[in-house]
Amino acid sequence: MRRRNVSYTATEETRSPEDPQCLVVDVEKSVDFQKKTRRKSTSWLQWCCRISTYVLLLSVLVWAVSWIQILVEEYHYRSIQRVMDKRKTACARPAWQKLQFPTCNLLHEIDLPHLEQRHATGSSLGFLANGYWRDVWAVDSSSSYNNETAVLKIMRLKHDIDAHNFDRHRRDGLVMERLTASPHVIDPYGFCGNSVLTEFLSKTLDKVAKGLDPSLVKYTRTRLDRLQLALGAARGLAALHEIPGGPIIHVDLGARQFLVGEDGNVKINDFNRCRFMGYYKTTKQPCDFRIQIAPGTDRAPEEYRELPSQNEKLDLFSFGNVLYIILTGREPWPYYYWGYAEPIIQRLIIWGIKPSLPQRVRRSDPELSELMYLLYALNPDDRPSAADVVRSIERILDKENVAHAISLSK
Strand segments, DSSP code E, in 156-263 are 188-192, 195-199, 203-204, 248-249, 258-260
> For 177-215, how does the pLDDT look when each residue is reduced to its tens digit (9 = 90+)?
999 999 999 999 989 999 999 999 888 999 999 887 778
26-40, 116-130, 170-184, 280-294: the lowest-pLDDT one: 26-40
Please give the average per-residue pLDDT across 380-403, as a whole number.
91
Please determine, for residue 74, whether its predicted confidence score (pLDDT) is greater than 80.
no
- pTM to 2 decimals? 0.75
Please give the average per-residue pLDDT across 349-356, as a whole number.
90
Whether the upstream peptide bond of residue 183 has omega within 30° of 0, thus cis, is: no
| d(C-alpha 309, C-alpha 203), whole Å | 35
**329 and 209 Cβ atoms separated by less than 8 Å:** yes
Give the torsion sign (CA, 264, 266, 270, 273): positive
Please give the average per-residue pLDDT across 360-368, as a whole number.
91
pLDDT for 27 equals 46
| Side chain identity at residue 276, one-letter code | F
CATH 1.10.510.10 residue spans of the chain? 203-410
Instruction: Assign 158 to helix, strand or coil.
Output: coil
CATH class entry, domain 92-200:
alpha beta
Query: Phi then psi for 128, rounded to 5 degrees?
Result: -105, -55
SS (H, E, C) 323-359: HHHHHHCCCCCCCCCCHHHHHHHHHHHHCCCCCCCCH
Residue 285 — very low, low, confident or very high, per pLDDT cuts 50/70/90? confident
**100 and 174 Cβ atoms separated by less than 8 Å:** yes
CATH fold for the domain made of 203-410: Transferase(Phosphotransferase); domain 1 (1.10.510)
> For 42-73, how does the pLDDT look when each residue is reduced to its tens digit (9 = 90+)?
677 778 888 888 888 888 888 888 788 878 87
> For 75-100, how does the pLDDT look when each residue is reduced to its tens digit (9 = 90+)?
776 666 666 565 555 788 888 998 99
The percentage of the chain sitting over the pLDDT mark of 90, rounded to a whole number, equals 33
CATH 3.30.200.20 residue spans of the chain? 92-200
When comparing pLDDT for 17 and 181, which is higher? 181
| Count of C-beta atoms within a 10 Å radius of residue 209 | 27
